[in-house]
């Protein structure tokens, strides 16, 4: 990471002008569907949430499967122009090609963002960056859909090299096949590592795409604010249930008002501004340590369940190849993250021991007072999972 550090020298949000400042609040529908929907949503936002500065709407929607609503396209840029004229809100949309960039610049769109499906493609990002050479416009880069910090940084670098200084990163969570209560797993360690490497880079959170449902928006947005994020992008629609994309996660302007009122924003008091950098880094470490403890707890709960399963099914015992596979995977992952082999080995061995202790405990609780099976008892301690 240290070799990546000097590659970005973004302008701090406070220097962006145009009323863009911390906390930067962005709201608007997932997609621009019709002129009436766009305008009604924008007016609702201005009325209910006057602190929102930027109106977002996807003009071209990258859909995972063909056949879904792909946005109204170029015609919607004129609707955004009308939003600006009638409400004074700045406008933002997603660009994925140089043609999108060109059309946005022609229509005076104020802020561009690169979506999670485009960020990981260096060709696309480079083409967008080339189209932006010499243009002074804020560009926000969403994290790639897979948890890869280097791809996120690489996209930011390409824009930076093309001369874009008003750069921001947007955390929208990561695709994750494991079970998660979120639509996209937040994996907070990634934005935290990005912020630690580039403290000047404004970091925003898109709680809508992380949460996937209104009920979890508050939790995600508050966590981002507690982690010192500079702002939020919240999908807001005048009639969420009728939305043509992401209907499950959008909220009405009235509910946006409630959400914003329920959040505690960090006060930009002189004290807060003078806050020692060391203290800030320590806060981030505390947050990561808490995340690690929670993940370890969840891991041990799983070990216990595996122990119960083995106990109940009298399942085969020694599985050294399973443990070897875990160790190899962790050594490979750790190596990529710059963690020493000895550290990984000691860490995983400690986890293994605790895991066995939990399995043994589950076993003993079950067999207490009964005669049990001596063969089970000798088996269980050797079992790596
Ligand atoms: C969006 O903002 O509507 C969107 C498509 O987001 P993402 O690129 O984060 O999936
Ligand atoms: Mn969306």
Quick one: pLDDT at residue 367?
62
- What's the pLDDT score for residue 277? 67
pTM: 0.76
Task: Judge contact between 345 and 338, C-beta under 8 A.
Answer: no
Q: Does the CA dihedral 227-149-187-211 come out positive or negative? A: positive
Ligand 1 binding pocket mutation candidate from 29, 30, 171 (most atoms within 8 A of CB) = 30
Instruction: Find tokens 């529908």 and name the residue.
Output: 29
Q: What is the pLDDT of residue 13?
A: 95
Number of residues assigned to the chain = 385
Supply the pLDDT for residue 383: 44
Cβ partners under 8 Å of residue 306, min gap 6: 359, 385
Q: Indicate if ligand 1 lies below 6 Å from the C-beta of 58.
A: yes
Nearest to 285 by CA among 170, 188, 182: 188
Residue 379: predicted pLDDT: 44
- The pLDDT score that the predictor gives to residue 201 is 96
What pLDDT does 112 receive?
98
| Nearest atom within ligand 1 for CA of residue 142 | 9
Mean pLDDT per 10-residue section of the chain, whose length is 385 residues: 65 95 97 98 98 98 90 97 98 98 98 98 98 98 97 98 98 89 94 91 98 97 94 98 97 98 76 60 82 89 84 70 87 88 91 84 64 41 47
Q: What is the pLDDT of residue 368?
A: 55
Cβ neighbours, 10 Å, residue 61: 20
Query: Among residues 212, 205, 242, which one has the least CA distance to residue 40?
Result: 242
Atom index in ligand 1 nearest the CA of residue 31 equals 3
Contact 217, 234 (CB under 8 A): yes
Ligand nearest to the CA of 249: 2
pLDDT value of residue 113: 98
Ligand 1 neighbour 71 (Cβ under 6 A): no
Cβ count near 328 (within 10 Å): 10
> Which pLDDT score, from 0 to 100, does residue 267 have?
62
For 94, phi and psi rounded to 5 degrees?
Answer: -90, 135
The answer to whether the CB of 169 falls within 8 A of the CB of 141 is yes
Q: What is the pLDDT of residue 357?
A: 84
Selection from 116, 112, 118, 71 nearest residue 92 by Cα: 112
Helix (H) or strand (E) holding 184: none
CB-proximal residues (5 Å) to ion ligand 2: 30, 246
Pocket test for ligand 1, best of 58, 171, 186, 211 (most atoms within 8 A of CB): 58
Provide the total of helices (H) and of strands (E) in the chain, helices listed first.
14, 8
Residues 6 or more apart from 109 whose CB is under 8 A from it? 77, 80, 91, 92, 93
């Amino acid at each position: 990471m240290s070799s990546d550090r000097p590659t970005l020298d973004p302008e701090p949000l406070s220097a962006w002008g145009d009323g863009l400042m911390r906390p930067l609040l962005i709201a608007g529908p997932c997609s621009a569907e019709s002129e009436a929907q766009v305008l009604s949503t924008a007016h609702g936002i201005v009325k209910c949430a006057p602190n929102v500065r930027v109106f977002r709407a996807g003009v071209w929607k990258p859909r995972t499967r063909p056949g879904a609503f792909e946005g109204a396209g170029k015609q919607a840029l004129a609707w955004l122009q009308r939003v600006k004229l009638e409400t004074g809100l700045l406008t933002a949309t997603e660009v994925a090609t140089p043609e999108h960039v060109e059309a946005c610049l022609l229509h005076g769109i104020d802020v561009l963002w690169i979506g999670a499906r485009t960020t990981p493609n260096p060709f696309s990002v480079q083409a967008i960056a080339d189209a932006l050479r010499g243009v002074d416009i804020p560009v926000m880069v969403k994290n790639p859909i897979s948890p890869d910090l280097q791809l996120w940084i690489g996209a930011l670098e390409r824009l930076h090299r093309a001369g874009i200084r008003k750069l921001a990163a947007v955390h929208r969570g990561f695709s994750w096949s494991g079970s998660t209560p979120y639509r996209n797993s937040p994996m907070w360690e990634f934005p935290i590592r990005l912020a630690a490497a580039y403290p000047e880079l404004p970091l925003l959170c898109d709680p809508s795409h992380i949460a996937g449902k209104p009920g979890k928006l508050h939790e995600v947005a508050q966590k981002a604010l507690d982690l010192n994020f500079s702002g939020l992008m919240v999908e807001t629609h005048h009639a969420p249930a009728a939305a043509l994309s992401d209907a499950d996660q959008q909220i009405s302007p009235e509910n946006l008002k409630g959400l914003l009122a329920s959040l505690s924003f960090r006060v930009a008091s002189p004290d807060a501004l003078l806050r020692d950098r060391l203290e800030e880094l320590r806060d981030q470490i505390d947050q990561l340590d808490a995340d690690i403890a929670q993940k370890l707890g969840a891991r041990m709960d799983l070990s216990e369940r595996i122990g119960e399963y083995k106990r109940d099914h009298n399942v085969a015992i020694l599985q050294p190849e399973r443990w070897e596979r875990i160790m190899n995977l962790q050594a490979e992952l750790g190596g990529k993250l710059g963690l020493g082999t000895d550290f990984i080995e000691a860490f995983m061995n400690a986890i293994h021991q605790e895991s066995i202790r939990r399995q043994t405990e589950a076993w003993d609780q079950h067999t207490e007072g009964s005669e049990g099976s001596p063969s089970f008892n000798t088996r269980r301690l050797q079992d790596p999972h």
